[in-house]
Amino acid sequence: MVPPLVLDIDGTLTTADHRIDPRAFELLPSWEAPVVFATGKAFPYPVALAHFLGLPEHVIAENGGVVYADGETRFTGDPDACWAVAEEFIERGGNLGWGGRTTVNRWRETEVAISMDADEELLRSIAADHDQTVIDTGYAYHVTSPGVSKGDAFEELCELLEYDPDAFVAIGDSENDASTFAVAGESYAVANADDVAREAADTVLADAHMDGTAGVLEALIAADR
């Protein structure tokens, strides 16, 4: 029997140019164990991905701020405090970025995502003044509340599914995946992973992005035969 999976999306199920790799649609729809998507993206994105893959909608969104499984939604964090950081950041000359792409934060329930072009030092200083934290996912700076993490959310989701976290294989690429790696039974960082994810993973893969992820999934399928 193949093991359950907890998978990051950006940098893990994507190509180098940030598109979902078609192999996700070849390997995941027939996976005979739970598949959890754990991402920094806003809540609707992993739900949509699960939907189009034909999988149950088991998701962790917004770096752990949102847990959704078996029709139950749980939120963690203080979105008002996060937006207070963003508003002061703008008042002090910062820019959330994204140009006209207003959808980046439109559906976020628990945090604020700010472009990597932003003034990181100023942002972190303001966040600290508001007792909030900043997570660098490699794709955005996420202003979130202390104590919010993918790992804690993953444990909560496993309670909802009545699964042991130690049964899961985790794959990711960023510092926000390190807490998931600490909880899952087996963890892999793809070759494009940052230093925090690399140190936290049980194995650092030779291949990047979906090349690395597909290699793990194919090996798990082969081992089950």
Taking the C-alpha atoms of residue 102 and residue 61, their distance in angstroms, rounded to an integer, is: 18
Locate tokens 């604020």: which residue? 112
> Quick one: how far is CA 130 from the chain centroid?
24
Is 177 in the active site?
no
At how many degrees (to 10) do helices 79-91 and 120-129 cross? 130
Distance of CA 165 to CAs 5, 59, 102, 187, Å? Answer: 10, 14, 36, 11
Enter the DSSP assignment of 176: G
Q: Which helix (H) or strand (E) holds 163?
A: none
Q: Of residues 8, 78, 173, 194, which has the active-site annotation?
A: 8
Closest Cα to residue 3, out of 137, 177, 201, 186?
186
How many other CB atoms are found less than 10 A from the CB of residue 136? 16
The Cβ-side half-sphere exposure at 165, using a 13 Å CA radius, reads 19
Residues classed as catalytic: 8
